[in-house]
Amino acid sequence: MKIPGFSHLTLCLGLASVIMTGAADAARAEIKSRSIKMPIVNNIEHPQGVGAKKFAELIEQKSGGKIKVRVYAGGTLGGEQQVASAMQGGTIEVSMMAPAQLVGNFKDFLVLDFPFAFANEREADIVLDGPLGRKLLEPMPARGLVGLVYMEQGYRSITNSKRPITKLEDIQGLKIRTILNPLYIDMLNALGANAVPMPFPELYTALETGTVDGQENPYSTVEASKFDEVQKYFSNTKHIYNSQLLMASKKFWDSLSDEEKKIFEDAAVETRDYQRRVAREMDEKSRETLVKNGMQINDIAPEEIARMREKVKPVVEKYAAQVGEDLTKELYTEIEKARTRQ
């Protein structure tokens, strides 16, 4: 019996709809209700905070509201070393920090911090998103972490309360806070400073009390952390380009379904592209704001930057030996390739 208005095509479309609905329901069933922690050391207004906030929004959106990411900004859950350790233990699910903070467990990340290696941000993007960047993430799961994508922190430059740095000799004797990373310590000491490693949450007070004379970070970090209140001079040494690594706890990652992992991976890539663009816009605005707030900002002549680069060559050679000749060669090969693509 033929039913009026009913056809084989209608039947097929109906079955397809049922199948698609069933598949969507099955996918949603694989997404559990979760509440996860995402600590960062910078403020929510900082490019790091902007990236964390965007990632949290995308995870909630892509999971249909089932997965909620709570961002803990301003180092409220501790410095990077504490957070990384907690992630390995599975008590913190996701975070974002400079790969330089992880060299105690993953020494090959040192290669990304060779002083004066990257000429510009686009060059860094190409290298980090390419084969070398992915290769550096491969050992992480064996030590309790999963690297997702690289975002941007920016170029580190030196600020201080004593004097502008216009030449190499001006760095001599300055007590400069840096991160808990031997390459950074050796680099600053080679430039003539007295490097003082210190967790970031302790830095403002150390600058305020004169425990240290200065520190080294991008414009956006200086503005977001209000370092201009306790620092007079910002000198564009641009000695190291810093990326930010968005990563997850391996214990947490292993608890996710394939559908949930895809949500995190897709959100990570979308956040990366957004955060890099916004971070670069914010850095320019931060420079303007710091000048308005009375900070003295100076560029450094190319010949003086060349002197600084020459001064830290022994440091580069020391850490190149640690990560190995092959990895060092791969870095500079990939940088050369990136330069030809721009």
Query: So what's the pLDDT on residue 30?
Result: 84
| Res 205 pLDDT > 90 | yes
pLDDT tens string 63-76: 999 999 999 999 99
| Res 297 pLDDT > 90 | yes
Residues 37-58: what's their mean pLDDT?
95
pTM of the predicted model, to two decimals?
A: 0.85
Give the percent of the chain with pLDDT over 70. 91
pLDDT tens string 144-185: 999 999 999 999 999 999 999 999 999 999 999 999 899 999
pLDDT tens string 103-152: 999 999 999 999 999 999 999 999 999 999 999 999 999 999 999 999 99
For each of the domains in the chain, give its residue range(s) and CATH number, in order of start.
32-341 (3.40.190.170)
pLDDT band at 26 (very low <50, low <70, confident <90, very high): very low
Answer for the pair 243, 128: CB distance below 8 angstroms, yes or no: yes
Contacts by 73-76 with C-beta closer than 8 Å and gap 24+? 73/39, 73/40, 73/42, 73/43, 73/44, 73/46, 73/49, 74/40, 74/41, 74/42, 74/43, 74/44, 74/201, 75/39, 75/40, 75/41, 75/42, 75/199, 75/200, 75/201, 76/39
Task: Name the residue among 317, 283, 300, 260 with its Cα closest to residue 66.
Answer: 260
pLDDT band at 331 (very low <50, low <70, confident <90, very high): very high
Number of neighbours of residue 182 by Cβ within 10 angstroms: 17
pLDDT band at 29 (very low <50, low <70, confident <90, very high): low
Query: So what's the pLDDT on residue 12?
Result: 54
| Res 243 pLDDT > 60 | yes
| Res 24 pLDDT > 70 | no
Q: Which residue has the higher pLDDT, 16 or 248?
A: 248
| Res 3 pLDDT > 70 | no
Question: Using CA atoms, how far apart are residues 84 and 79, in angstroms rounded to an integer?
Answer: 9
Sequence-ordered list of residues with C-beta below 8 angstroms from that of 49, at least 6 positions apart, any chain: 40, 42, 43, 71, 73, 224
